[in-house]
Chains A and B, each alone.
Chain A
């Protein structure tokens, strides 16, 4: 019962924060609500016995990506932003399809069939610790995808520099 209550709180908070994120006019507010949202999602991961994921959710998303967003938002002219309409003209259509999509995917849950459970039972993870179990898998079975990910990040760094750099005056 207490678990359900906690979940209800977090779920409610996440939905509310999500709505606030997409509806605030001031982007700074959006980003700050996003920060709160990420913390709640990280807490949700703790319920799911995924401590390491909770940690990187906070470190990478809240600590890294959101700060990046905040930097960029600060570059914009926020005062001007507050004067114009925040939605595009076709927003009712967007809303319709978003709601429609929600309805159909929720309806599709009932055809979900669970696979047979794997070997990583809660006891095993607790005994081995979550980070160690994840690390073992990541550096053995998923070594190549992991290396490819590092390459993607490298490309992203170079790409960001190339795109954001001022053109040199000839």
Chain B
């Protein structure tokens, strides 16, 4: 039997990798993929907890996370297309209109 904490540690490692990817990559598409990575990490956590606590609500929550992730990916990618059309770049360090 695999202990619950193993799943938790795995989920946290994937999450941290996602955080690293989001904070460090220049390419905005990879940043989005990193966000998907973090969401997946959370899903692993939710489903493993659901299994060990014998409560289906965790999986319901994971289900909603997937739905929201799909919506977020669609909007995010549409923004990337709009950005690429206007700036001809997908590199975030070249987009800094908000600089103070």
Residues of A within 8 A of B (CB): 3-4, 7, 11, 14-15, 18-19, 21-22, 27, 30-31, 34, 37-38, 41, 44-45, 47-50, 52-53, 56-57, 60-61, 64-65, 68-69, 72-73, 75-76, 81, 84-91, 93-95, 97-99, 101-102, 105-106, 109, 112, 114-115, 117-122, 133-134, 137-138, 142, 145, 149, 152-153, 155-157, 159-161, 163-164, 166
| B 43-65 binary contact with A (CB < 8 Å = 1; else 0) | 11001101111111101101110
Name the 6 nearest CB pairs between A and B, nearest first: A94-B23, A22-B21, A118-B55, A156-B71, A102-B16, A98-B20
* A76 in contact with B90 given A95-B24, A149-B68 (CB within 8 Å): yes
Of B33, B53, B56, B78, the residue contacting A21 (CB under 8 A) is B33
Q: List 9 A-B contacts (CB under 8 A).
A: A11-B6, A19-B17, A37-B37, A72-B29, A72-B81, A93-B23, A95-B24, A109-B9, A160-B74
Total interface residues on B, CB under 8 Å, equals: 72
* A69 in contact with B32 given A44-B44, A76-B84, A138-B63 (CB within 8 Å): yes
Alpha-carbon separation in the docked complex, A52 to B63 (Å): 10
Number of A-B residue pairs, CB cutoff 8 Å, is 225
B51, A49: Cβ atoms closer than 8 Å:
yes
Within 8 A of A (CB), among B1-37: 1-2, 4-10, 12-27, 29-30, 32-34, 36-37
Sample of 9 further A-B pairs with CB below 8 A, known A118-B56, A120-B54, A156-B75: A15-B17, A48-B47, A52-B59, A60-B70, A86-B27, A97-B23, A134-B60, A137-B60, A149-B64
Contacts of B93 in A (CB 8 A): 88-89
Of A75, A114, A153, the residue contacting B81 (CB under 8 A) is A75
* A149 in contact with B67 given A22-B30, A94-B20, A137-B56 (CB within 8 Å): yes
* A14 in contact with B10 given A72-B77, A84-B91 (CB within 8 Å): yes
B51, A34: Cβ atoms closer than 8 Å:
no
Q: Which residue of A lies closest to B72 (CB)?
A: A156
* A11 in contact with B10 given A98-B23, A114-B52 (CB within 8 Å): yes
